[in-house]
């Protein structure tokens, strides 16, 4: 994975990271603007009051006592505000990733509190573990796996396979299949949810 460098916002000129900006279509091609300018533009368009607040990274420990640093961003979608929390690998979102939406009128701190509670719950549960003898991942005792679907760009340029993110770890489609093969003959349930919804 190639690390992307900072670029300047076409509106305010401020240097921003790729994950702190949004690309918008224009007559001259894609236009990159920072989230601060983007949110201001959306707030004005929908007539909502919104004060941009730069959020600092937070650190949460998982069940193994390992620290995970999460970067936080907020973007407006009409009268809704969406907060994303994610780890970074090569300056791009990876590992654990969370997202939640609330009305702008609720305030950013209400949204953060709800998202933070979801993050603590997720990092406080371990769904898979590594069998070092056979060098394969196995499902933990509760026989339930929760995670999100990414893209394994290394698998193919034309038709990349899914990358399954569980416990903040990226499992290739082959690794995920080997993990399921240990339960041959069992039934299973697959439920796909919007990324903003909490998994039951």
pLDDT in tens for each of the 200 residues of the chain? 445 678 899 999 999 999 999 988 877 777 899 999 999 999 999 999 998 888 999 999 999 999 999 999 999 999 999 999 999 988 889 999 999 999 999 999 999 999 999 999 999 999 999 998 988 999 998 889 999 999 998 888 888 999 999 999 999 999 999 999 999 999 999 899 988 777 65
CA pair distance 181, 160, nearest whole angstrom: 22
pTM over 0.85: yes
Domain span at residue 93 reads: 7-123
Shared-domain flag, residues 117 and 132: no
* 190 falls within a domain: no
* 70 falls within a domain: yes
For the chain, the first-to-last Cα distance in angstroms comes to 32
Shared-domain flag, residues 96 and 161: no
Shared-domain flag, residues 26 and 105: yes
Shared-domain flag, residues 64 and 140: no
* Cα dihedral: 137, 167, 76, 191 (round 10): 60
CA pair distance 44, 187, nearest whole angstrom: 51
Shared-domain flag, residues 114 and 169: no
* 187 falls within a domain: no
**Domains: count for the chain:** 2
* 37 falls within a domain: yes
């Amino acid at each position: 994975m190639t690390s992307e460098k900072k670029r300047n916002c076409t509106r305010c000129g401020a240097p921003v990271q790729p994950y702190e900006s949004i690309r918008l279509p224009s007559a001259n091609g894609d236009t990159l603007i920072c989230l601060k300018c983007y949110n201001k533009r959306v707030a004005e368009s929908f007539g909502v009051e919104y004060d941009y607040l730069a959020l600092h990274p937070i650190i949460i420990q998982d069940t193994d006592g390992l620290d995970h640093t999460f970067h936080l961003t907020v973007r407006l979608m009409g009268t809704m505000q969406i907060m994303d929390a994610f780890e970074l690998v090569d300056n791009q979102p990876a590992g654990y990733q969370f997202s939640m939406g609330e009305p702008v009128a609720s305030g950013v701190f209400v949204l953060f509190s709800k998202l933070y509670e979801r993050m603590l719950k997720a990092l406080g549960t371990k769904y898979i573990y590594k069998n070092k003898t056979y060098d394969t991942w196995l499902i933990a005792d509760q026989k339930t796996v929760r995670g999100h679907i990414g893209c394994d760009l290394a698998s193919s340029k034309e038709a990349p396979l899914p990358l399954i993110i569980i416990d903040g770890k990226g499992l290739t489609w082959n690794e995920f299949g080997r993990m399921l093969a240990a339960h041959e003959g069992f039934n299973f349930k697959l439920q796909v949810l919007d990324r903003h919804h909490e998994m039951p």
